């Protein structure tokens, strides 16, 4: 009985938490939204793809989760702040902010965050990619995450970054002019570990370095 109770607790480890996920209509954001909901979180999906975002929420609710959709263009400061305020009016709190699509929300102590998660890319640790602005922006995302982790640690806020390799998301397929299978095949062929082509659901369950920020504040 104790074992069953422990497993049940692990399966609902986000029970009662509220999470905003930007870019949640497909790819990594969609998979994360579904995963968080399975763990008991109230998920707020934001995106500019209204139909797809609403569909993700309907399916999540149909699976027994709690999810709602807010239209939000992360290139607009007003949209991002509006999404946060709309969430606060609906749920009264915000525990997890997953900046999967660009924007980093300004921290305000009264929001009582638990966690901020940013999506970067494998490009953040490489210098050989042909698109310089993209590579530079992903290095910047990692630097921002490190600084934010140190700055917000005093408030008990954890800030982490997930840096996935290329996966067959709709965005990647369009950018490369390839279909899903072709992208997966290309990634697998370039991987040291065969049969390891990542899918969005794999990224949503990625393992991060867990050291309380030690390596960030003590680089030597």
Would residue 134 show up in a list of annotated catalytic residues for this protein?
yes
CA dist., res. 50 & res. 56, Å (int)? 10
* Rg value, the chain, Cα: 18
Q: How far is Cα of residue 5 from the mean position of the Cα atoms in its chain? A: 28
Catalytic residue among 69, 107, 134, 155: 134
DSSP assignment of 30-94 equals HHHHHHHHHTT-EEEEEES-HHHHHHHHHHHHHTT-EEEEEE--TT-HHHHHHHHHHHHHHHS--
Q: Catalytic residue positions?
A: 134
């Amino acid at each position: 009985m104790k074992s069953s109770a422990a497993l049940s607790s692990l399966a609902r480890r986000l029970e009662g938490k509220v999470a905003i996920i930007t870019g949640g209509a497909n790819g990594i954001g969609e998979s994360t939204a579904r995963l968080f909901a399975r763990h008991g979180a109230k998920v707020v999906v934001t995106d500019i793809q209204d139909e797809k975002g609403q569909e993700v929420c309907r399916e999540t609710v149909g699976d027994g989760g709690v999810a709602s959709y807010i239209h939000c263009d992360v290139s607009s400061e007003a949209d991002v702040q509006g999404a946060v305020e709309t969430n606060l009016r609906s749920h009264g709190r915000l525990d997890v902010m997953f900046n999967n699509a660009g924007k980093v929300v300004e921290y305000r102590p009264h929001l009582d965050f638990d966690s901020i998660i940013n999506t970067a890319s494998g490009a953040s640790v490489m210098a050989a990619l042909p698109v310089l602005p993209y590579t530079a922006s992903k290095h910047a995302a990692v630097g921002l995450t490190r600084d934010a982790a140190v700055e917000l640690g005093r408030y008990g806020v954890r800030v982490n970054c997930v840096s996935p390799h290329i996966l067959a998301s709709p965005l990647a397929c369009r950018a490369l002019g390839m279909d899903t299978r072709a992208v997966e095949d290309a990634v697998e062929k370039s991987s040291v570990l065969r049969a390891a082509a990542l899918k969005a659901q794999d990224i949503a369950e990625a393992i991060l370095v867990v050291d309380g920020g030690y390596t960030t504040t003590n680089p030597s």
